[in-house]
């Protein structure tokens, strides 16, 4: 009987496989060292950012990008190794097939069992490779998101820097708020459309199913989606209202507009400082922070105007005589009613108490008499 082991070892395909294994083993697959957060922070703070929080957020985005690139590097290395194993298994299967008429049938059958195992191994390897490729694609999408957020850090920092300049400050503020408001409207509208599609699908499934457990599950989903839809509708209404308020900043006096813009910028910085997740929904955060300043200023203005109605001057020193007299006239009926309801004396209290007791006694006697008659 021929020596199968020697034939397999002397096979030219086997020599190629060994050579390829040596190349892979000698290949340096060590990933590049990622920069630490302090190093990145030192680079970006001095060059591109005037506001520290956005430098920090920018560095975090870059660190996550480096981590994701490292994961993809390792996944590609795994795919390469799996491809080598796949080629080995395919070569083994091919070699066994070529020995069908060379070795005795019992030996060939034994090798066929091993060949079937290698075929199954190839299937498993393909599944792993597919899974790794999906993970790589997911990481690439995450990298794009982090890159977009890093760029947004630069834009927000630049926008806030522009607000420090008095030249065209009101116009630049309104323009920036309009851009971020449009962005927030677009993302909210997309969420609304997605929610509506899911709600329609859930309602359709609810009408088609006949199982009570499935209906209960769909009912909860429908309620949840309906609540989310209502919140998105309210958010769209608020964004429209805020857009009109921002537009009114153009026509405000310079002092009032500057106060609103300064408060808006401070609110934006505070929100990004206190909320680490703010960068994920940066348009919503910026618009809502600015709207808070606008509505607060309008509230204070309305309160001041209501106070000025009762005074001739802004500081409220001189009273309006006519209004004071009208106020006294309005208070006269209240004073009369107070005089009517003056405190009772001790004798009056006793007299009233005796009267009430006498009336109750008469009522009880009358009730007893009616009971006896019945």
CA distances from 304 to 251, 285, 298, 308 (A): 19, 29, 10, 6
Pick 293 or 144 by higher pLDDT.
144
| Backbone angles phi and psi of 145, in degrees to 5 | -65, -45
pLDDT of residue 330: 47
pLDDT of residue 65: 96
For the chain, give the percent of residues with pLDDT over 70. Answer: 67
Map tokens 């390829």 to a residue.
20
Q: CB-based contacts of 332: which residues, under 8 Å, 6+ apart? A: none
Report, as an integer, the average pLDDT of 197-223: 90
Q: Which of 46-55, 73-82, 116-125 has the lowest mean pLDDT?
A: 46-55
**Which tens digits make up the pLDDT trace of 7-48?**
444 454 445 455 555 554 444 444 444 444 445 444 544 467
Helix (H, G, I), strand (E, B) or coil at 211: coil
Report, as an integer, the average pLDDT of 178-185: 90
pLDDT of residue 203: 92
pLDDT band at 190 (very low <50, low <70, confident <90, very high): very high
Pick 356 or 246 by higher pLDDT.
246
pLDDT band at 49 (very low <50, low <70, confident <90, very high): confident
pLDDT band at 57 (very low <50, low <70, confident <90, very high): very high
On average, the pLDDT of the chain sits at 76
pLDDT band at 4 (very low <50, low <70, confident <90, very high): very low
Q: Is the pLDDT of residue 3 over 90?
A: no
- Of the chain, the end-to-end C-alpha distance in Å amounts to 128
Residue 356: CB atoms within 10 Å: 10
Q: Which of 6-10, 169-173, 190-194 has the lowest mean pLDDT?
A: 6-10
Sign of CA dihedral 275, 146, 156, 284: negative
325: Cα separation from own chain's centroid? 57
Pick 347 or 2 by higher pLDDT.
347
pLDDT of residue 199: 92
Tokens linked to 14: 């086997």
Beta strands per DSSP E along the chain: none
Going from the N-terminus, what domains does the chain have, and what CATH number goes with each?
1-153 (1.10.287)
- Name the DSSP letter for residue 71: H
pLDDT of residue 88: 93
Helix (H, G, I), strand (E, B) or coil at 42: helix
Partnered with residue 319 across adjacent β-strands are 311
Residue 280: CB atoms within 10 Å: 11
Tokens linked to 45: 């703070």
């Amino acid at each position: 009987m021929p020596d199968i082991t020697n034939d397999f070892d002397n096979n030219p395909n086997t020599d190629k496989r060994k050579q390829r294994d040596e190349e892979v083993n000698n290949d340096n697959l060590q990933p590049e060292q990622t920069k630490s957060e302090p190093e990145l922070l030192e680079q970006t703070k001095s060059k591109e950012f005037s506001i520290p929080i956005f430098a920090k957020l920018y560095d975090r985005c870059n660190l996550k990008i480096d981590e994701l690139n490292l994961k993809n590097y390792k996944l590609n290395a795994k795919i390469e190794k799996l491809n080598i194993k796949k080629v080995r298994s395919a070569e083994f299967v091919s070699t066994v097939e070529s020995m069908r008429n060379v070795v005795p049938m019992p030996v060939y059958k034994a090798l066929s069992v091993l060949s079937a195992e290698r075929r199954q191994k190839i299937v498993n390897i393909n599944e792993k490779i597919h899974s790794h490729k999906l993970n790589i694609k997911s990481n690439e999408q995450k990298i794009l998101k982090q890159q977009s957020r890093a760029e947004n850090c630069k834009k927000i920092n630049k926008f806030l820097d522009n607000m420090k300049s008095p030249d065209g400050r009101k116009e630049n503020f309104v323009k920036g708020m309009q851009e971020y408001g449009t962005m927030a409207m677009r993302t909210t509208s997309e969420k609304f459309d997605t929610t509506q599609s899911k709600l329609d699908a859930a309602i359709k499934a609810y009408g088609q199913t006949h199982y009570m457990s499935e209906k209960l599950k769909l009912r909860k989903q429908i309620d949840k989606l309906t609540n989310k839809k209502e919140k998105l509708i309210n958010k769209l209404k608020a964004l429209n209202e805020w857009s009109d308020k921002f537009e009114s900043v153009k026509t405000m006096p310079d002092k009032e507009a500057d106060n609103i813009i300064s408060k808006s910028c401070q609110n934006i910085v505070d929100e990004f400082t206190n909320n680490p997740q703010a960068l994920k929904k940066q348009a919503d955060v910026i618009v809502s922070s600015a709207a808070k300043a606008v509505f607060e200023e309008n509230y204070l203005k309305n309160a001041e105007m209501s106070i000025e109605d009762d005074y001739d001057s802004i500081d409220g020193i001189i009273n309006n005589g006519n209004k004071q007299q009208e106020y006294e006239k309005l208070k006269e009926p209240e004073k009369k009613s107070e005089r009517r309801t003056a405190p009772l004396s001790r004798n009056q209290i006793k007299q009233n108490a005796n009267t009430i007791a006498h009336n109750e006694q008469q009522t009880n006697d009358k009730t007893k008499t009616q009971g006896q008659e019945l």
